[in-house]
Amino acid sequence: MRRVLTSAAVAAALALAGPAGAQGRPDITAMSCAAAADLVSRSGAIVLTTGPITYARFVRDGGFCTVEKTTKPAYEQTRDLPRCFVGYLCVDPFSEGPGKP
């Protein structure tokens, strides 16, 4: 089951993102750990900036991945923590399964 972002959720994400909001993608490094995890949880699936030239798609659970993918815990640097659990990444279970680096 997929969820669609409401305009309120998009507005909240852009407000949290600060300058990155103008680029259309919230910046996870500018958020607190709790805010980043909450944004992923509320959105279901969202693309976030993870560094100056990097980004990733984070999901709340496997329901937001295609059927051939599995989830892998995603830990990212946030404003207040160097290693914050923000949700999951959708990965190929044969090359990047949950137990692999």
Q: Which of 12-21, 29-38, 53-62 is predicted least confidently? A: 12-21
Distance separating alpha carbons of residues 78 and 76, to the nearest angstrom: 6
Query: Which residues partner with 87 through β-bridges?
Result: 74
Determine which helix (DSSP H) or strand (DSSP E) holds 15, and give its type and residue range: helix 7-17
Give Cα separations from 79 to 27, 83, 97 (angstroms).
10, 10, 28
pTM of the model: 0.72
Domain-wise residue ranges, the chain = 7-91
The answer to whether residue 22 scores a pLDDT higher than 80 is no
Average pLDDT estimate for 21-29? 78
Average pLDDT estimate for 38-50? 98
Residue-wise pLDDT tens digits, 53-96? 999 999 999 999 999 999 999 999 999 999 999 999 999 998 87
Phi, psi of 92 (to 5 degrees): -75, 120
Query: Which residues partner with 58 through β-bridges?
Result: 46
